[in-house]
C-alpha cells in the first residue's frame, strides 16, 4: 500500500459550468498549482462566507488526469448546503477553495483487471477510470456496471454506455431490459477474471453491491468501497 498524502489547499477558477439536468451540475475548473490525480481520487471543495463561515465537501474527479481542466459532477441534494450552492449559484469565473487530490485506496491505474459498480453520482470516479483506460488502451481491463433510477437521472449515462458500461436502470426499462437492480446472472460474466472490485455510491447501494459481488464469487478482500450520497 502506498502512502497518498493529500495535496495542499489551493484554488480553482470555474472555466465551464453545465447543468445537464435540473439535479446535476458539471463544473470544469482551472486549478492553481495542480497536483496530478489518479483515477478514483477526489477533491475537497470549501466555500467561504463573508463572515468567515466555511463549509467543505468531497467530490470525486471525473476527468482524465491529462485533461487540462478538473471536472466535477455534483448532484444537488434537496436543501444540501454545498451541492445546492454549486448547482444554483456557481458560474464561470468564480473561484473556489480546493484541496486535493485525496485518497490512495479507491484508485485504479490499470494494474489489475477490475470491475466497478456504481450507483447514481457514485459513477463519477468510474468515469475518470474509464476515460483513463480508453486513452491508454486498457479498456478491456475495466468493466463498469452503472446503476441509476432513470437514464436521465444517471450522470454520464450516454458516455458510460458509449464506453461499454452495463447500465442497470431501476425505474425505467432500457432497450429490452426491464427496470430492476442488476441481477447476479447479469454480473457473473462481468466478474470473470477480475482481481479487484470498486463499489461506489450511497451507503445502502454499497451494501447491496458488495453483497451482489459476493453472490457471484468475488472475494470480499478484493472489494474497495467508497460511500457517499443519500442513504436510500
Partner 1 sequence: MPVTRGFFGRRDRRERSHRLPPGQYDAGADWPVLTAEATPVIRPEDHTMTVDGLVERPTTWSWPELQALPGSSYAGDIHCVTTWSKLGTRFAGVSVDTLLEAAGPRPEAAYVMAHSTTGYTTNLPLADVTGGRAWVVWEHEGRPLPVEHGGPARLLVPHLYFWKSAKWVTRLELMARDRPGFWEQNGYHDRGDPWLEQRYQGDP
Q: Which residues bind ligand FAD (CB under 6 A)?
A: 42, 57-60, 73-75, 77, 79-84, 121, 124, 226, 228-231
Told to check if 109 binds partner 1 by CB under 8 A, we report no
- Contacting partner 1 (CB under 8 A), which of 28, 57, 131, 141? 57
For partner 1, the closer of residues 74 and 96 by Cβ is 96
| Closest listed residue to residue 194, CA positions, set 216, 168, 211 | 216
| Closest listed residue to residue 29, CA positions, set 11, 47, 46 | 11
State the virtual CA torsion across 156, 162, 126, 147 in degrees, nearest 10: 70
| Closest approach of ligand FAD to the CB of residue 22, in Å | 14
| Closest listed residue to residue 99, CA positions, set 200, 14, 12, 13 | 12
For ligand FAD, the closer of residues 3 and 176 by Cβ is 3
Which residue's beta carbon is nearest to the bound ligand FAD?
A: 80
Interaction partner, residue 223 (partner 1, ligand FAD, none; CB < 5-8 Å by kind) = partner 1
- Residues 153-212 binding partner 1 (CB under 8 A) are 203-204, 206-207, 210
- Contacting partner 1 (CB under 8 A), which of 1, 22, 140, 176? 1
**121-150 footprint of partner 1 as x/- string (CB under 8 A):** ------------------------------
**Residue 97 neighbours by CB under 8 Å, 6+ apart:** 9, 10, 11, 45, 46, 47, 48, 56
Query: Rounded to the nearest 5 degrees, what angle is found at the Cα of 179, between the Cα atoms of 132 and 191?
Result: 45
Question: Residues 113, 193: contact at Cβ < 8 Å?
Answer: yes
Sequential DSSP letters for 168-198: EESSS-BTTBPS-SPPHHHHHHHHTT-SEEE
| Closest approach of ligand FAD to the CB of residue 183, in Å | 26
Interaction partner, residue 205 (ligand FAD, partner 1, none; CB < 5-8 Å by kind) = none
Sequential DSSP letters for 90-107: --TT-EEEEEEEE-SSS-
For ligand FAD, the closer of residues 7 and 187 by Cβ is 7
For ligand FAD, the closer of residues 103 and 187 by Cβ is 103
How far apart are alpha carbons 77 and 83 in whole angstroms? 6
CA distances from 43 to 147, 184, 225 (A): 23, 33, 17
Told to check if 34 binds partner 1 by CB under 8 A, we report no
Residues of this chain that interact with partner 1 (CB under 8 A) are 1-6, 8-9, 11, 44, 46-50, 53-57, 79, 81, 85, 89, 94-97, 99, 102-105, 203-204, 206-207, 210, 219-221, 223-225, 227-228, 231
Amino acid at each position: 500500500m502506498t502512502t497518498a498524502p493529500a495535496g495542499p489547499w489551493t484554488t480553482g477558477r470555474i472555466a465551464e459550468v453545465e447543468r445537464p439536468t435540473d439535479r446535476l451540475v458539471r463544473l470544469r475548473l482551472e486549478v492553481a498549482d495542480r497536483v496530478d490525480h489518479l483515477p478514483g481520487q477526489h477533491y475537497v471543495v470549501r466555500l467561504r462566507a463573508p463572515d468567515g463561515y466555511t463549509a467543505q465537501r468531497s467530490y470525486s474527479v471525473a476527468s482524465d488526469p491529462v485533461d487540462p481542466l478538473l471536472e466535477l459532477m455534483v448532484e444537488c441534494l434537496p436543501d444540501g448546503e454545498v451541492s445546492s450552492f454549486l448547482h444554483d449559484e456557481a458560474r464561470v469565473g468564480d473561484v473556489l477553495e480546493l484541496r486535493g487530490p485525496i485518497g490512495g485506496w479507491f484508485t485504479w491505474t490499470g494494474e489489475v483487471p477490475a470491475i466497478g459498480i456504481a450507483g447514481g453520482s457514485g459513477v463519477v470516479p468510474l468515469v475518470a477510470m474509464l476515460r483513463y483506460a480508453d486513452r491508454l488502451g486498457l479498456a478491456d481491463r475495466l468493466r463498469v456496471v452503472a446503476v441509476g433510477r432513470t437514464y436521465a437521472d444517471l450522470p454520464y449515462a450516454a458516455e458510460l454506455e458509449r464506453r461499454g458500461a452495463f447500465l442497470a436502470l431501476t425505474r425505467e426499462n432500457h432497450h429490452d431490459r426491464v427496470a430492476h437492480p442488476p441481477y447476479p446472472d447479469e454480473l457473473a460474466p462481468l466478474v470473470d477474471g477480475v482481481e479487484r472490485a470498486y463499489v461506489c455510491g450511497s451507503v445502502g447501494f454499497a451494501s447491496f453491491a458488495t453483497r451482489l459481488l459476493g453472490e457471484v464469487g468475488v472475494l470480499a478482500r478484493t472489494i474497495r468501497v467508497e460511500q457517499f450520497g443519500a442513504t436510500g
